[in-house]
A = this chain, B = another copy of it.
Amino acid sequence: MPDVPTSAASGLAADELHALDAHWRAANYLAAGQIYLLANPLLTEPLRPDHIKPRLLGHWGTSPGLNLVHTHLNRVIKARDLDAICVWGPGHGGPAVLAGSWLDGSYAEVYPDVGRDAAGMARLFRQFSFPGGVPSHVAPETPGSIHEGGELGYSLAHAYGAALDNPGLLVACVIGDGEAETGPLAASWHANKFLDPVHDGAVLPILHLNGYKIANPTVLARLPGPELDDLLRGYGHEPIEVSGDEPLQVHRDLARAMDQALDRIALLQRTAREEGVGERPRWPVIVLRTPKGWTGPAEVDGVPVEATWRSHQVPLPGVRENPEHLRQLERWLRSYRPEELFDDDGRPRPEVLACVPDGRRRLGANPHANGGLLVRDLPLPDLERYAVPVEKPGVTLHEPTRVLGDLLERVMEDSGDRRDFRVVGPDETASNRLQALFRATGKAWQEETLTTDEHLNRHGRVMEILSEHVCQGWLEGYLLTGRHGLFSCYEAFVHIVDSMVNQHIKWLKVSRALPWRRPVASLNYLLTSHVWRQDHNGFSHQDPGFVDHVLNKSPEVVRVYLPPDANTLLCVADHVLRSRDYVNVVVAGKQPCFDWLDLDQARAHCARGAGSWDWAGTENGTGEPDVVLACAGDVPTQEVLAAAGILRRHLPDVAVRVVNVVDMTRLLPRKEHPHGMPDAEFDALFTRDRPVIFAYHGYPWLVHRLAYRRTVHPELHVRGYLESGTTTTPFDMVVRNDLDRYRLVMDVIDRTPGLGVRAVAVRQRMQDARTRHHAWIREHGTDMPEVAEWSWSG
């Protein structure tokens, strides 16, 4: 570990100090103006009630702190010609981030009608939190942002995701002290154990302790200083503290702290890159203590507001009705001396802009914060090289995710120079059978290694930490800055990031409507170790509801695939890795699974998203089935095929059509999802009036929710997971949930009229098989040979 200079370069010259303060005052003025003003933006006349917005919405409290960071990041970016973005954790401070972007001119480049002049300032103020305007929070609409920040907790993981494989990038990250109480943020501190000082950029966390949340003090702000210091050192950081409420002194101190931090970062990177990585670097963290609502009203109606929780939203709530509040607002706004900051046309004066960098160096214009500008197509190999040969369906077995692993190895290998592809997961890459990846790369790890470790590597591009939150945050940050990736996760535990994927889907939905935001690579989930195969675990590991969760969200963004075998998984993976601006959920097994389709068949089937498997049915070309056996998911497909086999053998006169669904959104009406099947196509595939027995991977009502508008819906009968689980055998799981082959045959018999006495006997036989199953597993603890040894062609 090299020595780091203890005193950094910056002693601010007086004019630089005053220019910084001017920028900060301008930003504070603009932030307050957005919250309050409908008109009279430059205060060219005394403030009147009709200048004030009728609804006062927004968050002032965090804004002066964010502005301060913005000002000082401007300074160091310009002084050091840094390539830098900032993740603003307290995203409710939208007025601040908008102010910074308006000041650096990037806002007007994206929104020309909000120019850097009086008319533009008036629009900037009016549009904020106004119907038809811009949201109250940092949002996709905000230039320079990759982070909404409305739901607190993800800033630091986003920042690390952005820094990965961007060796020249600095990612500053403001962490609010409220946000710091969340679990995801608390876990993200340890992301520094995965940051490669050679191939990755740097993250500079700025822990902003303004003391209060909505109504309470924050835990970290009230820690005794040495305890907080211990905590940050325990997180592996070297803390640099700046504290105060006297602006000029805080400017001096923060400038010095920033220089110190950046000198240290530069030294750590240079050392690692020139001399090779030694021990894990102790990266700097800045602790910034400034008052909440700083420079706002000190007291309102006799109670303290500045430096308290009362400044969280709108410190003066009654401005339109209360003349004293109006006077106080005017005093407050004039305290920034706007006439010194803006010329008569509302343009920021040169002193205000002295610290602002140029062009793509501006925080509002850095292309890393609009990753679609940078993203390149992944080098994806021909699937032929990875497909498994299938002479006949249902004879050979492969572990689908293992087959996928070989493909991913190639992608990882071929992106080795570009370093724009990562796989993340909570300690499950090998458990999920993707270990072929480790032939192409290692698992990122900067801590000590022992001889008993495997595949750890300082420069690895597989990311494993036992935190789904951090995995998700890393990947989001990585994708939004223009790279590609895959999140491999246990199906049940992906619910841990339900709320994070909500926010990412919302981000993509809004981004898609902004022409200047270029499309980014999709967020791809591979959910394996799924509900039906939790042999080692049990009930707590059985939950297929993530699909339901994402299908509640904007249909233009979400897609769900359930490939039934290895080759279909390859086709789906190829498809989703090429796609842009989606959240793709792929559910696939890691256990040995019959191969049903060869590569050409798989391609055709996946292109359709759902189709009849004529070879499995008994329609014999009539095109008039008596019954449809439908399936989605690997285990349901196997049970449906087994049921079809029983029917073929024992009730050969029943015309059965077997339909497999890969893309669940095809079941939706066309007007509700871009993939939705037109009614005519749906009716042709599922019939208009025949019984449809649908074996579905997850909760059965999802299929009803997707298909309730279809003509055949009254005849639709769905089997799926019914929350009946425990540690047991694979076949017992399907029996417990009435998804087994015997039950499906009984369903066919029960729902198809006129099958006669032979069907009654077959039904009894099915009942007997289920009884036999129960007796067998209690005795042997395994599945019956007739199940365990079954194959379609056997």
| B-binding residues in A (CB < 8 A) | 38, 53-55, 57-59, 91-92, 129-137, 139, 148, 150-153, 178-179, 181-190, 193, 213-219, 222-224, 227-236, 304, 307-309, 313, 427-431, 443, 445, 447-450, 452-454, 456, 464-470, 492-493, 495-496, 498-499, 502-503, 506, 509-510, 535-541, 543, 545, 548-549, 552-554, 699, 701-702, 704-705, 708, 713, 723, 726-729, 732, 777-778, 780-782
Contacts and interface: CB of A to CB of B under 8 A. Distances in A.
A443 B216 contact: yes
Contacts of A179: 466
B465 A181 contact: yes
Most chain B Cβ neighbours within 10 Å, of A59, A313, A702, A781: A781
Nearest to A509: B723
Given A539-B139, A540-B506, A55 B431 contact: no
Contact of A307 (B219, B452, B498): B452
A351 to B, nearest CB: 33
A445 B228 CA distance: 17
Contact of A214 (B307, B428, B469): B428
Contacts of A427: 178, 213-216
B498 A495 contact: yes
Given A136-B536, A713-B708, A227 B222 contact: no
A129 B139 CA distance: 48
Nearest to A551: B701
Given A499-B493, A778-B131, A223 B539 contact: no
Contact of A139 (B59, B499, B538): B538
A189 B223 CA distance: 13
Contacts of A231: 230-231, 233-235
Nearest to A148: B540
A151 B540 contact: yes
A214 B493 CA distance: 15
| Stoichiometry (number of copies) | 2
Contact of A130 (B232, B307, B506, B781): B781
Nearest to A546: B498
A453 B535 contact: no
A367 B682 CA distance: 57
Closest 6 CB pairs of A and B: A231-B234, A183-B183, A150-B540, A186-B186, A230-B234, A495-B499
B136 A492 contact: no
B193 A187 contact: no
Nearest to A305: B452
13 contacts: A57-B535, A57-B536, A132-B777, A136-B536, A136-B537, A179-B466, A182-B183, A215-B427, A215-B431, A230-B234, A304-B452, A498-B498, A545-B552
Given A178-B427, A218-B466, 5 more contacts: A214-B427, A224-B448, A552-B701, A554-B723, A702-B705
A448 B222 contact: yes
A294 to B, nearest CB: 14
A742 to B, nearest CB: 17
Contacts of A215: 427-431, 454, 464
Contacts of A727: 57, 129, 133-137
A711 to B, nearest CB: 11
Contact of A137 (B57, B309, B503, B538): B538
B723 A181 contact: no
Contacts of A540: 91, 137, 139, 148, 150-151, 503, 506
Given A216-B427, A217-B453, A729-B131, A496 B495 contact: no
A636 B246 CA distance: 50
Nearest to A449: B217
Contact of A193 (B53, B151, B219, B539): B219
A130 B53 CA distance: 67
A238 to B, nearest CB: 12
Given A178-B427, A213-B427, A538 B778 contact: no
A780 to B, nearest CB: 6
Given A498-B498, A778-B132, A506 B54 contact: no
A723 B553 CA distance: 7
Contacts of A57: 535-536, 727
A466 B220 CA distance: 11
A777 B133 CA distance: 11
A535 B129 CA distance: 8
A702 B447 CA distance: 48
A173 to B, nearest CB: 16
A228 B217 contact: no
A189 to B, nearest CB: 8
A183 B469 contact: yes
A729 B133 CA distance: 12
Given A304-B452, A447-B217, A732-B131, A466 B182 contact: yes
A552 B548 contact: yes
A77 to B, nearest CB: 28
A187 B186 contact: yes
Contacts of A233: 227, 230-231, 234
A187, A227, A308, A454 — most chain B CB neighbours (10 Å): A187
A227 B723 CA distance: 44
Nearest to A136: B727
A313 B234 CA distance: 31
A135 B543 contact: no
B538 A549 contact: no
Contacts of A309: 452, 454
Contacts of A132: 728, 777-778
A55 B150 contact: no
Contact of A178 (B448, B466, B506): B466
A228 B230 CA distance: 10
A713 B186 CA distance: 48
Nearest to A235: B231
Given A231-B235, A498-B549, A217 B777 contact: no
A233 B427 CA distance: 28
Contact of A781 (B131, B217, B538): B131
A498 B219 CA distance: 25
Given A465-B181, A704-B705, A778-B132, A447 B55 contact: no
Given A536-B59, A537-B92, A723-B509, A181 B216 contact: no
A774 to B, nearest CB: 9
A184 to B, nearest CB: 4
Q: Which of A449, A495, A704, A780 has the most CB of B within 10 A?
A: A495
A782 B54 contact: yes
A137 B449 CA distance: 30
A233 B231 CA distance: 7
Nearest to A510: B539
Contacts of A139: 538-540
Contacts of A217: 445, 447, 449-450, 453, 456
A131 B187 CA distance: 37
Contacts of A133: 727
